[in-house]
């Protein structure tokens, strides 16, 4: 058995200036840029996250701009297997997460637990 839940909304920006992109999205969403968050580094900028809401992260990427979600889980291999059973497939296995593609074409990531309070609002899978 394992649990999983929606973790984050990632805004992938094919831009040269991730800070400018983060400022736009912070203003658009009414959130501050969280400069002190450990996830704000390199090509990543975290926006302040109100309690019980998914994380919003801006990331500079080399592929086309798009939005993707992260699903957090206490058992990455079990969650990947569950999602493969639903028709998704693995695109890439990285050190700390797995990139997958839904049968509908969208890419998403399966990540270890990121947000406090897990497993609150998570689904328990048998």
Rounded to 5 degrees, what are φ and ψ at 27? -65, -40
Is 79 strand, coil or helix? helix
**Could you read off the pLDDT of 18-51 as tens digits, one per residue?**
999 999 999 999 999 999 999 999 999 999 998 8
pLDDT at res. 67: 96
Q: How high is the mean pLDDT of the chain?
A: 96
Confidence of residue 52 (pLDDT cuts 50, 70, 90): confident
pLDDT at 122 over 90: yes
Q: Which has the closest alpha carbon to 25: 62, 60, 58, 67? A: 58
Look up the pTM and report it.
Answer: 0.90
At 119, list the tokens. 């497993």
Q: What is the pLDDT of residue 126?
A: 87
Q: Taking the domains of the chain in order of start, what are their residue ranges?
A: 2-125
Close Cβ partners of 36 (under 8 Å, ≥ 6 residues apart): none
CA separation for the pair 65, 12 (Å, rounded): 5
Which class would CATH give 2-125? alpha beta
* Torsion sign over Cα 27, 70, 7, 61: negative
pLDDT digits (tens, 9 = 90+) for 55-73: 999 999 999 999 999 999 9
């Amino acid at each position: 058995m394992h649990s999983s839940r929606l973790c984050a909304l990632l805004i992938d920006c094919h831009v040269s200036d991730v800070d400018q992109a983060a400022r736009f999205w912070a203003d658009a969403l009414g959130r501050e840029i969280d400069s002190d968050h450990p996830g704000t580094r390199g090509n990543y900028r975290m926006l302040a996250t109100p309690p019980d809401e998914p994380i919003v992260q801006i990331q500079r990427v080399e592929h086309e701009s798009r939005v993707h979600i992260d699903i957090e889980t206490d058992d990455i291999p079990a969650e990947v297997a569950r999602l493969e059973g639903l028709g998704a497939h693995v695109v890439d296995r990285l050190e700390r997460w797995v990139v997958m593609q839904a049968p509908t074409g969208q890419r998403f990531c399966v990540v270890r637990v990121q947000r406090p309070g897990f497993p609150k609002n998570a689904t328990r899978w048998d």
